[in-house]
Amino acid sequence: MDCCVIGTGYVGLVTGACLAELGNHVIAADMDEQKIQSLSAGHIPIYEAELEAIVERNLKNGNLTFTTEVHEAVSESEFVFITVGTPSDAEGRADLTNVDNVARDIARALDGYTVIINKSTVPVGSTKRVQRIIEESMPQYHEFDVVSNPEFLREGTAVFDFMNPSRIVIGSDSQKAAMRMTELYHGLNAPLLVTDPVSAEMIKYASNVFLATKVSYTNAVANLCEAVGADIREVTLGMGYDERIGFEFLKAGPGFGGSCFPKDCRALLAIARENGYDFELLEGVLKVNLEQHEKMVEKVARAAEGLEGRRICALGVAFKANTDDIRESPAVYVIKRLVERGASVMVYDPQAIQNARVELPGATFASDPYEAAEGAVVLALLTEWDEFKWLDYERILGLMETPYVVDTRNCLDPAMLRKLGFTYEGVGR
């Protein structure tokens, strides 16, 4: 089938590449000329498992092309995916400027029945809004439907998640559009839920915010564990065996970050406010999260016995492992605060250094973890990269000024480190 995605950010790129991999003809459009040029040459601007190989393969076999010509892309497609960014505005609401502009571009390019799919995370009611904008901006009438089809991709496993979705949600008032979407996703084996657009939009927020709530709840319990002398890892293990709770998203740590959870929490809070509902629970989720970032700063400050002039080694700056994304990363928050309080922080991350240089002008960067550890009084592990588990800690012990590890991700082995001579501190244990 002929598809296009408008916006080649995370969601657009993964969606476009995977639809091409499933055998569709996909045009991926973006107004950023430089980006399109580099994508056409097979250069992927993000670090995402499998994505580069899929893009390369589908560029070669002609299933995937990149363009800056939105008009052409839309007029040649039966399915048009809107995958542009919706950043938070000052009040926490999703800013729809990009979506609105794209809707107008689509309206001008329509040429026969088209299904327009909202994949960007947009406030409840946006499917209708896009529909209205298109109706108002169409120079000449063409039949079209707008569908909400939220994505649930996790960074780092986005390709796998696209190909193996937990569910496919289609929010549409039009049976014709819903049927066409069902055909498009025919190759994927997943429960398919067809619902009204507003409910589909709500499913996306409610899911992400629920997961964020799980993380904040776990972190709150972790803090209590520290106070009473329990171990959060044992506690969550014991909880997880209850199928109603499950093991996922019960990892205590520095709080959640990334491009979705914080933004979606704020957006749902704004939606609640606009609709006269006092969503106190969600305010608590965000409050616990920020406090958790700050608690990590305090842990390091205590371990270093003050921060002014102290050398800190920060391992990890990405918001989680297996990504180079540092958007709203707890690690960035912690490093910024340490620098503000006078520490000299040397950062290492396997993938995210490039992005971090811009965001953290006050820090210095190491090319490997051992260089980062040299002369440090505290090693703060901030992102749970696998490779940090397998470092030569004996060597690190020799390099540090004082052997203190603050493991904000609970991913190292305390017994091993203590045996080597480190003081070890985790979260909630």
Active site residues: 260
Instruction: Closer to ligand UDX by CB, 293 or 311: give it.
Output: 293
Q: Is 285 in the site for ligand UDX (CB under 6 A)?
A: no
Q: How far is CA 305 from the centre of its chain?
A: 34
Using the rule CB under 6 A, is 251 a contact of ligand UDX? yes
Tokens matching residue 7: 């916006």
Residues facing residue 314 across a β-bridge: 347, 380
- For residue 71 the two structure tokens come to 């008009």
The answer to the question of residue 256 lying near ligand UDX (CB under 6 A) is yes
Q: Give the HSE-up count for residue 423: Cα atoms under 13 Å, Cβ half-sphere.
A: 12
Residue closer to ligand UDX (CB basis): 47 or 256: 256
Q: How far apart are CA 176 and CA 261, in angstroms?
A: 33
Handedness of CA 167, 171, 175, 177 (dihedral sign): negative
250 binds ligand UDX, rule: CB under 6 A:
yes
Site for ligand UDX in 59-88 (CB under 6 A): none
What six digits make up the tokens of 225? Answer: 């564990």
Give me the residue label for tokens 């203590």: 418
Q: Is 424 in the site for ligand UDX (CB under 6 A)?
A: no
* 174's tokens: 């039009």
Closest CA to 318 of 254, 392, 252: 254
Instruction: Please report whether residue 201 would count as binding ligand UDX according to CB under 6 A.
Output: no
320 binds ligand UDX (CB under 6 A): yes
Stretch in the footprint of ligand UDX (CB under 6 A) among 128-136, 257-265, 347-355, 388-396? 257-265
Query: Binding marks (x or -) toward ligand UDX, 259..278, rule CB under 6 A?
Result: -xx-----------------
Q: How far is the CB of 103 from ligand UDX (least distance, A)?
A: 22
Give 197 or 253: the residue with its C-beta nearer to ligand UDX.
253
Question: Which residue from 170, 164, 235 is spatially nearest to 199, judged by alpha carbons?
Answer: 170
DSSP state of 81: E
> Which amino acid makes up residue 140?
Q
* Closest separation in Å from C-beta 328 to ligand UDX: 8
User: For 103-244, where are the E strands, in sequence order?
Assistant: 114-118, 144-148, 168-171, 192-195
Q: DSSP class of residue 153?
A: P
Binding status of residue 185 toward ligand UDX by CB under 6 A: no
Of positions 59, 215, 377, 400, contacts ligand UDX by CB under 6 A: 215
Residue 153, interface with ligand UDX (CB under 6 A)? yes
* Closer residue to ligand UDX (CB): 132 or 167: 167
Two structure tokens written together for 267:
């957006």
Task: Answer yes or no whether residue 405 interacts with ligand UDX by CB under 6 A.
Answer: no
* Residue 248 beta carbon to ligand UDX: minimum distance, rounded to whole angstroms: 7
Nearer to ligand UDX, 1 or 192 (CB): 192
Q: Which stretch binds ligand UDX (CB under 6 A): 31-39, 100-108, 254-262, 271-279?
A: 254-262
13 binds ligand UDX (CB under 6 A): no
Residue of the chain from 123, 253, 369, 403 that contacts ligand UDX (CB under 6 A): 253
Q: Decide if 197 contacts 127 (C-beta within 8 A).
A: yes
Residue whose entry in the numeric block shows the structure tokens 């800056």:
68
Among 160, 185, 217, 249, binds ligand UDX (CB under 6 A): 249
Contact status: 120 vs ligand UDX (CB under 6 A) = no
Tell me the backbone φ, ψ of residue 370, rounded to 5 degrees: -75, -40
Is residue 167 a contact residue for ligand UDX (CB under 6 A)? no
Cα first-last separation, the chain: 53
* Chain centre distance of CA 199: 22
Choosing from 16, 257, 403, 426, the residue that interacts with ligand UDX (CB under 6 A) is 257
In angstroms, what CA-CA distances link 272 with 15, 86, 196, 198, 287? 30, 18, 19, 14, 17
Selected range binding ligand UDX among 110-118, 153-161, 275-283, 300-308, rule: CB under 6 A: 153-161
Q: Which is nearer to ligand UDX, 261 or 422 (CB)?
A: 261
Number of amino acids touching ligand UDX (CB under 6 A):
19
Report the nearest approach of ligand UDX to the CB of residue 304 (Å): 24
State which H helix or E strand residue 65 sits in.
Answer: strand 64-67
Please tell me whether residue 10 binds ligand UDX under the rule CB under 6 A: no
- Paired strand residues for 424: 405
Residues that bind ligand UDX (CB under 6 A): 151-155, 208, 211, 215, 249-251, 253, 256-258, 260-261, 319-320
